[in-house]
Chain A
Amino acid sequence: MNATFTLDGRPVAFSEGQTILQAAVAAGAYIPHLCFHPDFKPHGSCKVCTVKVGGRHAASCTTRATAGAVVESDTPELNAERRALVQMLFVEGNHFCPSCEKSGDCKLQATAYDLGMSTPHFDHFYPDRPVDASHPDMLLDFNRCILCSLCVRASRDVDGKNVFALAGRGIRTRLIANSRTGRLVDTSFSHQDKAAHVCPVGVILHKRRGFETPFGSRVFDRKPISARADSTAEIAAVEADGS
């Protein structure tokens, strides 16, 4: 347990089997990330948590921490690369922050602000992604999906329901619901599911609770994402308060 690696020059303790990001989160150090959640097995798809380990790029959420490793994270080069990834996520979907009820609680938006993203930079894809408002308690707005698969993992591993899955391939990869009609109302989904509380963006929304917390006093309105030791847990706590 005394083993440490250095993150931007500061020692971070880790226990056997922990990945770099897991150890960093546990130690209260911030490495930008989107598809990682401390409650779930690391997935490694968004690549926003990419760091340099001994000079080589590696996703910190899936790379095992090793004693004495030299990890760089908060560098202009890596932050520029992360910014490009976040820009990719913005142009891949349809993200209109001013009209999104997750604005201020959204990790994609908060990470973009934190990385100094001022424009989407790339040409938009403008995909056609109809919303699913069929469920009495929940709304799915697929336009904002970043394919982090946290809801897939939560529903499968915690709720035991397999309500969500990824389908398609490449740029056509999309989130689908587990029913013959493809509609959420025909699945076993409940607003109390863990999967209803893990979306880092504004896809899985609770009906009749929009804008309960006004703009300006939301999680990332108060403090930037990098200033929060465990932003993911904090959002979950906020959501749990409201239910």
Chain B
Amino acid sequence: MPSKVRNAPDPAQAAATAMARHRHDPLELLQMLRDVEEACGWIPPEAIDCIEARLALPRAKILGVASFYSFLHLKRAGRYRILFSDNITDRMLGSLGLLDRMCRGLWVERGKVSEDGLVSVDTTSCTGLCDQGPAILVNGLAVTRLTERRVDDICELVRDEVPPGEWPADFFRVEDNIHRRDALLGTPWLPGRALEAALARSPEDLVAEMKASKLRGRGGAGFPAGLKWQACREAPGKARYLVANADEGEPGNFKDRVLLANAADAIFEGMALGAWATGARRGFLYLRGEYRFLLDHLEAVLERRRAARLLGESILGREGFDFDVAIHVGAGAYVCGEESALIESLEGKRGTPRNRPPYPVTQGYLGQPTAVNNVETFAASCLVALKGGAWYAGIGTPESTGTKLVCVSGDCEQPGIYEYPFGVEVRQVLADCGARLTQAVQVSGPSGATVPAAEFGRRLAFEDLPTAGALMVFNERRDMFEVARNFVHFFAHESCGFCTPCRVGTSLLRNMMDKLANGHGSPYDFAEIGKLNLLLQSMSHCGLGHSACNPVLGTIAKFRGAYQRRLAHEEFEPAFDLDRALAAARQMTGRDDAAAHVRPETEETA
């Protein structure tokens, strides 16, 4: 007899435990809410009562924070919460068919909790397992390589109420899939070596080496890391902070996951280097909620480093060099990858990007100078400390030094991580990963660039194709309109809602793309889509809105035919479709015969 899911704990007790664990510090509100969600499966009002009373926070603020993050539930959720990663690469591997199969197997409607409160099945933004999808999250834990067989097994486990902790370990196996190693992944890490090298000289020297290395931010924006550290060091403030951005939300990216799993020591060592360079005494690693399964491993690495005096007080015996790192776990919000939104989230608030300037490097966490770097940037800084800025600057191209972890997914034989010196041609990556008959690649995710076959001679480098790492491959059979539509849905789902153009514009754009997909498009709609994208680009508050137009503008420019095919009408016609609107009525009555349709010739769309 399998053991049942344990009874949900008392909400008040869960809230008390969560608050005590986080020292009753209101800055830790999001972490407390996460703990309550993990303990109870949702955030019951009684738990909010306790937090409101004990922390003296306005209830509306607590609700405002909790309702911002996708993985927090203010209404009772299923005891099993299953989320299908909905990146285009998951779809190409058949995720939607598997989702339907699971819904049928569990007698549950997508997006709703089953009537017995057992389970809910829905979609979520890319979970960063594109090289081993289709992937799902079960109560926050990643399950990879879904097949029909695995879906059926999961349905049975859920029906029998077997706790996820007792499911076959193979379901949760996450592979690294490293297929090419270069300077970063090819260097064996001896914890402390880079720090020893840095401590042999002054913080100013380290900043100078970093500047000489010309190491640029690996999150995609490419700001020189040495300049950022110097600015943080020189900015006036009461305290300085370092943040490692591991909120890897850009669909198609998964190199942070692999680095966190494989080279956590290098990341934390890079943070300590940053602390030496800037004078920061506290650091945070902001781990995206989807990578919750890495938390125990990361905490263990931190503990080991503290024991080895590589973190904590008097690091490596150096009096006055104190620095420690705390891990903050996100809760499902892509926008928190934007550095000022990330800092808001670190402060326990809604992840709304701040007005900039001031930039975080002068006024970041708690208004103090804060250097936010991607985890790959921190790891790379160890190479600079060990081997010198000039050595590092000799790798890659003059404007894009060093190496880059490229995350390959989609239509190829060997998806996974490929580390190349900057400047590698797209063609080379495609050859190495075994891609055939490739129509296009999407570089750096939805906010990046769509590159057609004619441009495969272009190079991955800040001066040509800047990238956070993702490289999604689409072969000749793929419909690039559907690729763009998937990305548009992603941005509409992830818009924070702060500014008008992005909040409303991304949803309008989603509806217009759906209108084309539903066969109601005309040249008028095509023109409207173009205009709306330009408005998003010029008027939005942050990078999310600015780049939300990229997939559509990019595919229109390179794959106009994919849109033209969708313009079924010469003249404008409304998006409203009476037959489609009656789908709910058909479902309620269990009918799908000809007489239940307004236009019998219309195909039913799911």
* Residues of A in contact with B (beta carbons under 8 Å apart): 42, 44-48, 50, 57, 59, 62, 64, 81, 84-85, 88-89, 91-92, 122-123, 125, 146-147, 162-173, 176-180
Please report the C-alpha to C-alpha distance between residue A163 and residue B497 in the assembled complex, in whole angstroms.
Answer: 20
**A-facing mask of B52-90, CB < 8 A → 1, else 0?**
000000111101100111100000000000000000000
Q: List 16 A-B contacts (CB under 8 A).
A: A42-B355, A45-B498, A45-B541, A47-B540, A57-B539, A88-B500, A123-B511, A165-B58, A167-B60, A169-B67, A169-B70, A169-B350, A169-B497, A178-B61, A180-B45, A180-B49
Please report the C-alpha to C-alpha distance between residue A168 and residue B69 in the assembled complex, in whole angstroms.
Answer: 8
Neighbouring A residues of B45 by C-beta, 8 Å = 180
Would you give the shortest CB distance from A8 to chain B, in whole angstroms? 18
Do B64 and A170 touch across chains, with their CB atoms under 8 A apart? no
B494 at interface, CB cutoff 8 A? yes
Q: Which of A44, A92, A123, A179 interacts with B499 by CB under 8 Å?
A: A44
- Nearest chain B residue, comparing its CB with the CB of A173: B497
Neighbouring A residues of B355 by C-beta, 8 Å = 42, 44, 59, 62
- Nearest chain A residue, comparing its CB with the CB of B74: A167
- Nearest chain B residue, comparing its CB with the CB of A162: B58
Do B499 and A178 touch across chains, with their CB atoms under 8 A apart? no
**A-facing mask of B120-143, CB < 8 A → 1, else 0?**
000000000000000000000000
B575 at interface, CB cutoff 8 A? yes
B602 at interface, CB cutoff 8 A? no
Neighbouring A residues of B60 by C-beta, 8 Å = 162-165, 167, 176-179
Would you give the shortest CB distance from A97 to chain B, in whole angstroms? 19
Number of A-B contacts (CB under 8 A): 116
- Number of B interface residues at 8 Å Cβ cutoff, please give it: 40
Do A167 and B503 touch across chains, with their CB atoms under 8 A apart? no
- Nearest chain B residue, comparing its CB with the CB of A87: B504
Would you give the shortest CB distance from A167 to chain B, in whole angstroms? 4
B44 at interface, CB cutoff 8 A? no
**A-facing mask of B90-110, CB < 8 A → 1, else 0?**
000000000000000000000
Neighbouring B residues of A84 by C-beta, 8 Å = 531, 535
Chain B 484-538 interface residues, beta-carbon cutoff 8 Å to A: 492-501, 503-508, 511, 531, 535, 538
B333 at interface, CB cutoff 8 A? yes
Q: Which of A123, A170, A179 interacts with B495 by CB under 8 Å?
A: A170
Neighbouring A residues of B58 by C-beta, 8 Å = 162, 165, 178
Neighbouring B residues of A173 by C-beta, 8 Å = 497-498, 503
Would you give the shortest CB distance from B579 to chain A, in whole angstroms? 18
- Nearest chain A residue, comparing its CB with the CB of B351: A169
Do A171 and B500 touch across chains, with their CB atoms under 8 A apart? no
Do A169 and B504 touch across chains, with their CB atoms under 8 A apart? no
Would you give the shortest CB distance from B496 to chain A, in whole angstroms? 6
- Nearest chain B residue, comparing its CB with the CB of A177: B60
Do A91 and B61 touch across chains, with their CB atoms under 8 A apart? no
Do B497 and A171 touch across chains, with their CB atoms under 8 A apart? yes
Neighbouring A residues of B59 by C-beta, 8 Å = 178-180
- Nearest chain A residue, comparing its CB with the CB of B333: A169
Please report the C-alpha to C-alpha distance between residue A48 and residue B500 in the assembled complex, in whole angstroms.
Answer: 9
Would you give the shortest CB distance from A159 to chain B, in whole angstroms? 12
Neighbouring B residues of A47 by C-beta, 8 Å = 499-501, 539-541
Q: Which of B496, B499, B539 interacts with A169 by CB under 8 Å?
A: B496
Chain B 387-428 interface residues, beta-carbon cutoff 8 Å to A: none
Would you give the shortest CB distance from B523 to chain A, in whole angstroms? 17
Please report the C-alpha to C-alpha distance between residue A46 and residue B68 in the assembled complex, in whole angstroms.
Answer: 19
> Are A50 and B539 also in contact (CB < 8 A) when A166-B350, A170-B496 are?
yes
Do B495 and A171 touch across chains, with their CB atoms under 8 A apart? yes
Please report the C-alpha to C-alpha distance between residue A194 and residue B274 in the assembled complex, in whole angstroms.
Answer: 46
Neighbouring A residues of B357 by C-beta, 8 Å = 64
Do B495 and A85 touch across chains, with their CB atoms under 8 A apart? no
**A-facing mask of B426-452, CB < 8 A → 1, else 0?**
000000000000000000000000000
Q: Which of B496, B497, B505, B541 interacts with A88 by CB under 8 Å?
A: B505
Would you give the shortest CB distance from B72 to chain A, in whole angstroms? 11
Do B64 and A167 touch across chains, with their CB atoms under 8 A apart? yes
Do B504 and A88 touch across chains, with their CB atoms under 8 A apart? yes
Do B538 and A122 touch across chains, with their CB atoms under 8 A apart? no
Neighbouring B residues of A147 by C-beta, 8 Å = 497, 503
Would you give the shortest CB distance from B26 to chain A, in whole angstroms? 13
Do B493 and A170 touch across chains, with their CB atoms under 8 A apart? yes
Please report the C-alpha to C-alpha distance between residue A162 and residue B62 in the assembled complex, in whole angstroms.
Answer: 12
10 tightest CB-CB pairs across the interface, nearest first?
A173-B497, A165-B60, A178-B60, A162-B58, A88-B504, A165-B64, A171-B507, A170-B495, A167-B67, A62-B355
Neighbouring B residues of A172 by C-beta, 8 Å = 497
Neighbouring B residues of A85 by C-beta, 8 Å = 500-501, 535, 539
**A-facing mask of B456-500, CB < 8 A → 1, else 0?**
000000000000000000000000000000000000111111111
Q: Which of B494, B507, B538 interacts with A81 by CB under 8 Å?
A: B538
Please report the C-alpha to C-alpha distance between residue A176 and residue B64 in the assembled complex, in whole angstroms.
Answer: 8
Would you give the shortest CB distance from B381 to chain A, in whole angstroms? 32
Neighbouring B residues of A169 by C-beta, 8 Å = 67-70, 333, 350, 495-497
Neighbouring A residues of B49 by C-beta, 8 Å = 180
Do A89 and B507 touch across chains, with their CB atoms under 8 A apart? no
Would you give the shortest CB distance from A47 to chain B, in whole angstroms? 5
Would you give the shortest CB distance from A40 to chain B, in whole angstroms? 14
Do A122 and B350 touch across chains, with their CB atoms under 8 A apart? no
Sample of 4 more A-B contacts, CB < 8 Å, known A169-B68, A169-B350, A170-B503? A48-B500, A64-B357, A169-B67, A169-B497
Would you give the shortest CB distance from B176 to chain A, in whole angstroms? 32
Neighbouring B residues of A178 by C-beta, 8 Å = 58-61
Please report the C-alpha to C-alpha distance between residue A24 and residue B441 in the assembled complex, in whole angstroms.
Answer: 47
> Are A167 and B507 also in contact (CB < 8 A) when A44-B499, A81-B535 are?
no
Do A89 and B333 touch across chains, with their CB atoms under 8 A apart? no
Please report the C-alpha to C-alpha distance between residue A91 and residue B500 in the assembled complex, in whole angstroms.
Answer: 11
Do B500 and A122 touch across chains, with their CB atoms under 8 A apart? no
Would you give the shortest CB distance from B33 to chain A, in whole angstroms? 13
Please report the C-alpha to C-alpha distance between residue A42 and residue B506 in the assembled complex, in whole angstroms.
Answer: 24
Q: Which of B69, B493, B500 interacts with A45 by CB under 8 Å?
A: B500
Please report the C-alpha to C-alpha distance between residue A143 and residue B355 in the assembled complex, in whole angstroms.
Answer: 28
> Are A88 and B494 also in contact (CB < 8 A) when A165-B61, A177-B60, A178-B59 are?
no
Would you give the shortest CB distance from A161 to chain B, in whole angstroms? 8
- Nearest chain B residue, comparing its CB with the CB of A146: B500
- Nearest chain A residue, comparing its CB with the CB of B62: A165
> Are A171 and B333 also in contact (CB < 8 A) when A45-B541, A164-B60 are?
no
Neighbouring B residues of A46 by C-beta, 8 Å = 499-500
Would you give the shortest CB distance from B45 to chain A, in whole angstroms? 7
Do B508 and A122 touch across chains, with their CB atoms under 8 A apart? yes
> Are A125 and B67 also in contact (CB < 8 A) when A89-B500, A164-B60, A170-B493 are?
no
Please report the C-alpha to C-alpha distance between residue A42 and residue B541 in the assembled complex, in whole angstroms.
Answer: 14
Please report the C-alpha to C-alpha distance between residue A165 and residue B503 in the assembled complex, in whole angstroms.
Answer: 17
Q: Looking at B68, B500, B541, which has the most chain A CB atoms within 10 Å of its CB?
A: B500
